[in-house]
Structure formats: structure tokens, C-alpha cells
Amino acid sequence: MPEPSIRVAVAGDEEALALLDRATWSTLHAVSPPPEGPFFDERHVPRDYLVAEADGRVVGYIRIARPTPLASNAHVLQIQGLAVADEARGQGLGRALIRAAAGEARSRGARRLTLRVLGHNAPARALYESEGFAVEGVQPEEFLLDGAYVDDVLMGRKL
């Protein structure tokens, strides 16, 4: 696969992002039901997504958005989704998207970048830790997924 480029999403990416979202959905990282309907809506707007593209195809995305609408929390952005197409896995694309998200967050004036990751998602946790995120809290057994209780791990880093 050629070296992917990373850019801010545009409205025309919606179909490709929706297909990627559906193809990568798993209870390893998702707490809501499989995605249906439109990818973008009033809460999920293109400017909040960075898209990885290779050979004219969307092969990954990361979403960064404000965790709350509070002015007192405006200096914090949160990773609220990360997906990499199966054919692009294992090539450093997730890491590149995280680094691009940190750069984008800095350019938007953020001082901190946070995320939530499921406790059983060891590969994602290791990736985030290797990119400077630290565990800042754990909500034990916060979700019931596939018949098992799963911790919600809160992570963050300074920018």
C-alpha cells in the first residue's frame, strides 16, 4: 500500500467513512450497536475528522472533538473514534493518525488530548501509551459487552 496522506474530512467522504465504520465495528472497541444511517450529523461534522487516504481510497480516520460544551473545558480535545481498514493495519497508520490528531489539537489551541478506551483492548492501550497517553482513571465494569463486564479506561496527555 502506498504511503497514506492525512487530511481533514470533507462532506464527500461520508459514504467511504460510513463503509469503513461498518467494516471495522467490533465490541473490542465499540460500546454502541453497529453503526447505521448517515455518518455525519449535527454532532459528527467533517471538521472533527482526520482522514487517511491511500490511492484515492479512505483507509482510516480519527475523530477529535470537545468532550463537553463548557467554556471552562475548551482547552481539552478528545479522541472519540479511530478506525483503520483491515488492509492498512500493521503499517503504522493508527500511530500516524494519533500524531496527526495531536498536531491538529495543538493547532486548535488545545492544551490536553484525552480519550476513553475499553480495558480489554490491549493493542489500543499499548499504542496510546507509546504515544504519551497515561491512564488517568478507570471505571470498573462500566460496560456489559458480549456477556462480559468491561472497564472504561480514561487516558490523557499534555500537548
**C-alpha cell at position 126:** 499499548
Can you give the pLDDT at residue 1?
Answer: 66
pTM, two decimals, is 0.94
What's the pLDDT score for residue 140? 98
Res 4: pLDDT:
85
Residue ranges of alpha helices (H) inside 25-150 are 93-107, 122-130
Per-residue pLDDT 10s for the chain (159 aa) are 667 899 999 999 999 999 999 999 998 899 999 999 899 999 999 999 999 999 889 999 999 999 999 999 999 999 999 999 999 999 999 999 999 999 999 999 999 999 999 999 999 999 999 999 999 999 999 999 999 999 999 999 999
Q: Which of 143, 110, 113 has its CA nearest to residue 128? A: 113
